[in-house]
Amino acid sequence: MNDYLIVLLFFLIALFYSSIGFGGGSSYLAILSVLLTDFYEIRSLTLILNLVVVSIGTIMYIQKRVFDWKLFWPFLAFSIPAAFLGSQLRLSEKSFFITLGGALLLSAIMLTIQAFSAYRTSKILTFPKRGLTGFGIGFLSGLTGIGGGIFLSPVLNLFRWANPKTIASLASIFILVNSIAGLTGLAIGGSFEMNWEFAAKIILAVGVGGLIGSFVSNSSINVNVIRGLTALLVTYVGLRIVLIHGWGIRI
């Protein structure tokens, strides 16, 4: 694949995902699995790209004072050790990708529901429910090598936990802390691999895309159309991963 096309592709993915508070890890994994051969390098670079994109979004959300730490901290406190534990598990490449693909297809269904649902009155989630949700999605985050926001955001929207902007801000910092936890787990486990010469241009591309997308997310623009398009992209990525690694079918 042409280098310019690769850079453009990663830029667009970061742009779309960051506009709704995500990092883009699922699509990075799908593309990198075609471009790279080292399984651990794919996971390592995906987490770094996630980290770059959501760091920008998190800073903007903090500046806009969207965060509510009293509501957020149980999700984060329970997800960080869970993400670390998940990253320590050594799945076979086939098991890893089938798990990831299945989780993404489920996430895409919830994203679609979210895109076509009107905002409704918020409901209170108790401390145990917030902690359990954070732990479960944090573990899945560490296991799959993505930040987990793409799982967390649809779940919280279906729970009607808070308004979409508050959930997007939580998803952003959730991805940030769990990407750090996942990278730490890979490093301690001796699984962190990186070709910085290849990675540098992609990191720059997602940084620019994430900056623009985060501005859209923090503006008054209605992002339901972008959320719907993201659901389509996640569906394609999840289906492609399952078919390729489960049955050897390429689409």
Domain that holds residue 114: 3-247
Domain count, the chain: 1
Burial degree of 4 (CB within 10 A; 0-12, 13-18, 19+): exposed
Compute the average pLDDT of residues 121-126. Answer: 79
Express each pLDDT in 147-176 by its tens digit: 888 889 888 888 888 877 888 889 889 999
Amino acid making up residue 228: G
Compute the average pLDDT of residues 101-119. Answer: 80
**Does the model's pTM come out above 0.95?**
no
Share of the chain above pLDDT 90, in %: 35
- In angstroms, the CA 173 to CA 72 distance is 9
- In angstroms, the CA 120 to CA 72 distance is 20
Express each pLDDT in 83-99 by its tens digit: 999 988 878 888 888 98
Express each pLDDT in 218-249 by its tens digit: 665 566 777 787 788 888 888 988 898 888 88
